[in-house]
Structure 1
Amino acid sequence: MDNYLEKIEKYLKALSSSERIDIVKEIKSAMLELQNTGLTTEQIIERLGNPKELAKAYLGDAISKNSKFSWRKLAAVFAFCSSFAGAIGMFVLPIISTLSIALMISGVITPIGGIIKFVGHLMGYDITGITIQIGAFTPSPMQFLPTSIVIGVLMFLLGKVLWRLTIKYIQQLVRRRKHSECER
């Protein structure tokens, strides 16, 4: 049983240590309850199934509990994708989650660039390294700050939407997995 629990913990390494410990304790408790009913270790492990599959189910649940972003949750998404989401999910989820983070970070950085460019203009400096060009439109120094704020807000919101879509997709995979396990 210890070997089984060690494998579970290994597959859950993307989660925080407290989450991992809680999950392993829960599984160990379930194993001990089954053992008290007279089942052998082999029967218990057979009933629980493949440790990788069980860990993936817990990993999916942990990711889908809330949609707030954290770097640890991003690592958990990648771990989930590599072992659970199938061929499409292995490419789609990492791309969408990485893009969402990039957009949220860019959404914060873009207005900062706008502030720097605007303050530079007010002080008489032309900061050429910070530019915005949308098609043929290049904002004047006075238009640069509001334009960068609008673009930053739009990028940040799009990033949040993509992050929520990532979490929703994982929730769907977990629900489908639980539904297929119930039918067995």
Structure 2
Amino acid sequence: MSPEGKAYLDRFYSLLEKLPEEERLDAVREIESHIAEGLAHGQPEREILARLGDPRKLARAYRSEYILENNQGRTFKEKLALIGFYCTTGLLSVTVVPVLAVIAYGFAFCAVLIVAAGILRTFGATWINMGITPDHQIPTQWSIPVAVIVGGIIGGIAFISRKYLRKYLAFQSASYRKTLPGSGKTFAD
């Protein structure tokens, strides 16, 4: 491997600094094998490196996949980094990710507030209004059942939005991985 290829791998390794050491080494070995496979098929190393793309984007994809696969123990900062990655992957993501995230988490929060409001209203909080129209208020004794039904509907929308947000993020990761050499297509194709 030329000094240029070695420098690419070193840069890639350094950009994976937030991953555990074993994950970093696996990622570097995988990219190194892509380069070796391309060289074995007679392709110029420069062309192989160009096809791999910017090491920052490649490292970002590996970090994203690692975070998605290791759901347990994610910090808030890691979640924000993951959202940042997906928001910058394309125009569609700039719209889809924030909209689904707001619906998922905003509606979940609202569902909890609706149920809490129904309970508070039942126990005498007169400042909470629950009505179909301004002139037609729900009777106080029906506050909890109505709040549970409405909260359940809003919570269901939140759950479905969260589910599709996760599916979209997984799809984006898989799509990016498919563009990498060696992901089902050989260099000779």
Deviation per CA, 1:31-57: give whole Å up to 9, x if none. 7889999x9xxx699385423322332
AA paired with 1:92? V
Superposition CA RMSD, Å = 3.6
User: What is the Cα deviation at residue 132 of structure 1?
Assistant: 2.5
Separation in structure 1 between the aligned mates of residue 122 and residue 106 of structure 2, nearest angstrom: 24
Separation in structure 2 between the aligned mates of residue 98 and residue 3 of structure 1, nearest angstrom: 36
Q: Greater Rg, structure 1 or structure 2?
A: 2
- 1:159 — aligned with what? 158
Gapped regions of structure 1 (runs ≥ 5): 10-16, 121-125
Separation in structure 2 between the aligned mates of residue 144 and residue 133 of structure 1, nearest angstrom: 10
Instruction: Please tell me whether the aligned partners of residues 12 and 55 of structure 2 are also in contact (alpha carbons under 8 angstroms).
Output: yes
Question: Which of 103, 107, 114 lines up with 1:103 in the alignment?
Answer: 107
AA paired with 2:87? S
User: What is the Cα deviation at residue 154 of structure 1?
Assistant: 1.1
Deviation per CA, 1:152-184: give whole Å up to 9, x if none. 111111101001111111222223323333457
- Going from structure 1 to structure 2, the CA distance change for 1:5 and 1:63 (only over 3 Å counts) comes to closer
Percent of aligned pairs sharing the same letter: 18
Gapped regions of structure 2 (runs ≥ 5): 1-8, 40-44
- 1:90 — aligned with what? 94
- 2:132 — aligned with what? 134
Between structures 1 and 2, the one with greater helix share = 1
Question: Which of 12, 31, 51 lines up with 1:4 in the alignment?
Answer: 12
